[in-house]
Amino acid sequence: METTMTFEYAPAPESRAIVTIKPKYGHFIGGKFVAGGKHFPTINPATEEVLSQIALAGKADVDAAVKAARKAYTNTWSKMSGKERGKYLYRIARIMQERAREFAVLETLDNGKPIRESRDTDIPLAAAHFFYHAGWADKLEYAGLGTSPKPLGVAGQIIPWNFPLLMLAWKVAPALAAGNTVVLKPAESTPLTALLFAEVCQQAELPAGVVNIVTGDGSTGALIVNHQGIDKIAFTGSTEVGKIIARAVAPTNKSVTLELGGKAANIVFDDAPIDETVEGIVNGIFFNQGHVCCAGSRLLLQENVAEEVLHKLKNRMEKIRVGDPMDKNTDVGAINSKEQLAKIIELAAVGDSEGAERWSPACNLPSKGFWFAPTIFTGVTQAHRIAREEIFGPVLSVLTFRTPAEAIEKANNTPFGLSAGIWSEKGSRTLWASQQLRAGVIWANTFNKFDPTSPFGGYKESGWGREGGRHGLAAYLKGVSHE
Ligand code: NDP
């Protein structure tokens, strides 16, 4: 008789003693924290505890930030040699590493993502972006982007809540390396690590005004987008807001990069290594609660292995640990906000009503906070909304295909084009498929791998331009095409 023994995990809570959260924050303008007018709360989505009161920037605050950024650009940063700029970026990178645990704990408290992910992914990658771009600061003329590349001026940067510090690093590091100054707005629900980053700028003695951080909501973002003193807009967020921004900057001289939504196909061919593939599927959709623009949210299974993959996937999902993000054993944490949870619940209900079959493992979700169990929908067709729209949560839509050509056709049948995954042991098939797929990033036998040296960005409604690598640098320099 076969017997199995299971051992319960003991709680392994990370301490929050390392962070000091002030009861109230202002904006970071011209190298100093300045008091804000109106405030709004930022909460821990795992407990609904109010963490702090955050300032809501209005026109006067955004004006002051742009003025400080312009002054720093004209008088200091654009005149400084690349070598000197690089020293500041290295210093920031090192301080981020030294304060990594503080950043990780704060990110997890404000965002709801598991400490394991903020500690092992978000914060090390954010520091890596500063290290990588520090290296470019004095080598811009050798980057193949012209003999004398020039910065654009003041960059307005608007970031989302899914990877708060990492998205800040993606925006701030290349801008500064290329000689620009910045006004950055973190997302309404996750401003705390950006405010800690402001302290790091002070600690690194970065010249006043090179980095300015204003907090607020969408109205603050719109003030930045429409500000006449700004030369470039860099945005990551929803396709809906991306379209508003594209329209707003169209009649102006502003440069723009947009990193928007996705509905990535993760394609499993019948010769794929099934056990590794199952890990990749789980990582592709349940990493960061599925709040990932490049998430592998559409699983395309070749029909003759579909049953086996689904059986193993369900077994694996039974072992996913959902719960307290501060517990070091947690795999899936809290949904970032009440609004996002409502959107996930609504789209999942549409999946039910359109006839797809829902499955989730049994899991005890905490009574407070915002939670959604890891979920898969089978029997999904191209016509279903859950196959076409970004759910931005831990929900996987599963489709099947018979031939490689059908897989490509289904994968490309989307308004998005951010990322895709291919699982196959055959190199020629992988190369063939990657050439047919219309997506900015294609992973083979892996998923959700990020590196500062590698350009990231999408086709179609997934955005304009690239971030990371040489291509990402080009987006902060004058007259250089970055497509
Ligand atoms: P948004 O696109 O609204 O938010 C992204 C950033 O833009 C935030 O800082 C936001 O501010 C700001 N913003 C909002 N409205 C405007 C505006 N009119 N002009 C300028 N900036 C603005 O995304 P949401 O947070 O509302 O999420 C909605 C959906 O977007 C999600 O369900 C998901 O599908 C998708 N999404 C995709 C992301 C991606 O990486 N591709 C990231 C985040 C969301 P504030 O937070 O203060 O509202």
Q: What is the pLDDT of residues 389-408, one digit of tens each?
A: 999 999 999 999 999 999 99
- Residue 352 counted as domain residue: yes
Co-location of 183 and 269 in the same domain? no
CATH code for the domain in which residue 346 is found: 3.40.309.10
Instruction: State whether the beta carbon of 340 lies less than 6 angstroms from ligand 1.
Output: yes
Amino acid found at 86: G
Best probe residue, ligand 1, of 167, 238, 391 (max atoms within 8 Å of C-beta): 238
Instruction: State whether the beta carbon of 173 lies less than 6 angstroms from ligand 1.
Output: no
Instruction: State whether the beta carbon of 351 lies less than 6 angstroms from ligand 1.
Output: no
Instruction: State whether the beta carbon of 390 lies less than 6 angstroms from ligand 1.
Output: yes
Using the mean position of ligand 1's atoms as its centre, give its distance from the Cα of residue 111 in Å: 14
- Residue 428 counted as domain residue: yes
- Residue 34 counted as domain residue: yes
Co-location of 324 and 396 in the same domain? yes
Instruction: State whether the beta carbon of 236 lies less than 6 angstroms from ligand 1.
Output: yes
Q: Which tokens go with 117?
A: 């992910």
- Residue 4 counted as domain residue: no
Q: Give the per-residue pLDDT at 381.
A: 96
Give me the helices (H) in 226-296, please.
Answer: 239-249, 274-286
Residues spanned by the domain of 173: 27-260+460-476
Q: Give the per-residue pLDDT at 404.
A: 98
Instruction: State whether the beta carbon of 62 lies less than 6 angstroms from ligand 1.
Output: no
**Per-residue pLDDT reduced to its tens digit, 30-87:** 999 999 999 999 999 999 999 999 999 999 999 999 999 999 999 999 999 999 999 9
Q: Give the per-residue pLDDT at 7.
A: 79
Instruction: State whether the beta carbon of 289 lies less than 6 angstroms from ligand 1.
Output: no
Using the mean position of ligand 1's atoms as its centre, give its distance from the Cα of residue 82 in Å: 33
pLDDT band at 170 (very low <50, low <70, confident <90, very high): very high
Ligand 1 atom nearest residue 259's Cα: 41
Co-location of 233 and 92 in the same domain? yes
In the numeric block, the tokens 């804000």 are attached to: 36
- Residue 436 counted as domain residue: yes
Cα pseudo-dihedral 406, 259, 42, 229, rounded to 10: -160
Q: Which tokens go with 281?
A: 């599927």
What percentage of the chain exceeds 70 in pLDDT?
A: 98
Co-location of 114 and 155 in the same domain? yes
Using the mean position of ligand 1's atoms as its centre, give its distance from the Cα of residue 237 in Å: 4
Amino acid found at 280: G
Count of domains observed in the chain: 2
Co-location of 118 and 58 in the same domain? yes
Best probe residue, ligand 1, of 213, 241, 338 (max atoms within 8 Å of C-beta): 241
Stretch 209-237: mean pLDDT: 98
In the numeric block, the tokens 């077994």 are attached to: 315
Burial class (CB in 10 A: 0-12, 13-18, 19+), 315: exposed
Nearest residue (by CA) to ligand 1, atom 28, is 238
Report strand pairing: 395-401 vs 255-259. Answer: unpaired
In 3D space, the residue among 186, 178, 185, 182 whose CA is nearest the CA of residue 232 turns out to be 182
Co-location of 104 and 163 in the same domain? yes
Co-location of 249 and 362 in the same domain? no
pLDDT of 438 > 50? The answer is: yes
Co-location of 125 and 238 in the same domain? yes
**Per-residue pLDDT reduced to its tens digit, 257-266:** 999 999 999 9
Q: Give the per-residue pLDDT at 2.
A: 54
Q: What is the DSSP letter of 289?
A: G
- What Å distances lie between residue 394 and 307, 391, 412, CA to CA? 21, 8, 22
**Mean pLDDT across the chain:** 96
- Residue 466 counted as domain residue: yes
Co-location of 286 and 211 in the same domain? no
Ligand 1 atom nearest residue 186's Cα: 9
Co-location of 249 and 309 in the same domain? no
Instruction: State whether the beta carbon of 467 lies less than 6 angstroms from ligand 1.
Output: no
Ligand 1 atom nearest residue 217's Cα: 47
Nearest residue (by CA) to ligand 1, atom 42, is 237
Using the mean position of ligand 1's atoms as its centre, give its distance from the Cα of residue 302 in Å: 35
- What Å distances lie between residue 97 and 88, 91, 183, CA to CA? 14, 10, 23
Cα pseudo-dihedral 297, 465, 195, 222, rounded to 10: -100
Q: Give the per-residue pLDDT at 245.
A: 98
Q: Which residues pair with 300 in a beta bridge?
A: 267, 399
Instruction: State whether the beta carbon of 260 lies less than 6 angstroms from ligand 1.
Output: yes
pLDDT band at 482 (very low <50, low <70, confident <90, very high): very low
In the numeric block, the tokens 């950006």 are attached to: 194
Instruction: State whether the beta carbon of 244 lies less than 6 angstroms from ligand 1.
Output: yes
Using the mean position of ligand 1's atoms as its centre, give its distance from the Cα of residue 215 in Å: 14
Ligand 1 atom nearest residue 185's Cα: 9
pLDDT of 93 > 50? The answer is: yes
Q: Give the per-residue pLDDT at 12.
A: 96
Q: Give the per-residue pLDDT at 466.
A: 95
Best probe residue, ligand 1, of 27, 40, 158 (max atoms within 8 Å of C-beta): 158
Amino acid found at 257: T
**Per-residue pLDDT reduced to its tens digit, 323-375:** 999 999 999 999 999 999 999 999 999 999 999 999 999 999 999 999 999 99
Using the mean position of ligand 1's atoms as its centre, give its distance from the Cα of residue 118 in Å: 21
- Reduce the secondary structure of 216-246 to three states and give it as a string: CCHHHHHHHHCCCCCCEEEEECCHHHHHHHH
CB 463 within 8 A of CB 138: no
CB 290 within 8 A of CB 262: no
Ligand 1 atom nearest residue 261's Cα: 41
Q: Give the per-residue pLDDT at 3.
A: 63
Co-location of 88 and 208 in the same domain? yes
- Residue 7 counted as domain residue: no
- Residue 470 counted as domain residue: yes
Q: Give the per-residue pLDDT at 481.
A: 54
CB 153 within 8 A of CB 143: no
pLDDT of 450 > 60? The answer is: yes
What percentage of the chain exceeds 90 in pLDDT?
A: 96
Residues tagged active-site: 259, 293
Co-location of 252 and 347 in the same domain? no
CATH code for the domain in which residue 194 is found: 3.40.605.10
**pTM of this prediction exceeds 0.85:** yes
**Per-residue pLDDT reduced to its tens digit, 2-23:** 566 777 889 999 999 999 999 9
pLDDT of 483 > 70? The answer is: no
Instruction: State whether the beta carbon of 293 lies less than 6 angstroms from ligand 1.
Output: yes
Stretch 182-198: mean pLDDT: 98
